[in-house]
Structure 1
Amino acid sequence: MNDTIKGLYEVVLDRKEHPSEGSYTCYLFEKGLDKILKKVGEESAETIIAAKNGDKTEISNEVCDLLYHLLVMLAETGVDIDTVNGILEERRQKIGNLKQFHQTDKNT
């Protein structure tokens, strides 16, 4: 797993366990899941718009915002980042199997 994403997730978890005044992450946890999900939706839309506009810097920044809010959502819902990483790894292992999966017998 990317050490940066895992490290950020650990910071998010620490903020959840040890609230710090003035922390945006703590503010999100204080407001609850609905607020967190609203931010995930907003950042998703902003990422889509950035991609449509084609500005690579804007895209990169919006993806970072989206990833951060997704990490907060994972922490709030009790989903561990290692679980997500495991699923991604399983899917990565399947890459290349698509051709075999879609082969059909044209003689039948």
Structure 2
Amino acid sequence: MTLNELAATIQSRKTADPESSWTAKLLSQGVEKCAEKFGEESIEAIIEAVKGDRERLTSEAADVLYHLLVMLSACDVDLADVLDVLAKRQGTSGLVEKANR
């Protein structure tokens, strides 16, 4: 499954029954809950990275990506828009890009 496919699935869950879909349940609880879950998963990924547990980090990274996409959906931000920003940054030094912000 690609990130685009996952984003489309998440988008389709916006109108699903929160009793039958974890994604719909998260989205029904609003941006704050979606952001909270993204933060929790990010911290868990950081912990596994520091511990050096590659298998757990891989699992937590998948959770981070999923919850990022849920949060973006809750904020009506399309993955395509995020990818456009990354494409525009491609070929630019990270140091230069940060200095231009």
**If the length of structure 1 is used for normalisation, what is the TM-score?**
0.80
- Give the aligned length: 97
Distance 2:47 2:9 in 1: 28
Matched, 1:73 2:61: no
**Counterpart amino acid of 1:6?**
N
**If the length of structure 2 is used for normalisation, what is the TM-score?**
0.86
How far off its partner does 1:30 sit? Answer: 1.4
Structure 1 residues 66 and 96: CA distance shift in structure 2, 3 A: closer
The 5-angstrom pairing of residues 58-97 of structure 1 reads 58-95=56-93
Distance 1:65 1:54 in 2: 17
Residue 44 (structure 1) aligned to one of 22, 42, 49: 42
- In terms of Rg, which structure is larger? 1
Distance 1:87 1:19 in 2: 33
Unmatched tracts of structure 1, length 5 or more:
102-108
Classify the secondary structure of the residue corresponding to 1:94. Answer: coil
Question: More displaced, 86-95 or 8-17?
Answer: 86-95
Percent of aligned pairs with the same amino acid:
38
Matched, 1:53 2:51: yes
Classify the secondary structure of the residue corresponding to 2:77. Answer: coil
The 5-angstrom pairing of residues 1-16 of structure 1 reads 4-16=2-14
Over the residues paired in the alignment, what is the CA RMSD in angstroms? Answer: 2.1
Distance 2:79 2:22 in 1: 20
Distance 2:38 2:10 in 1: 15
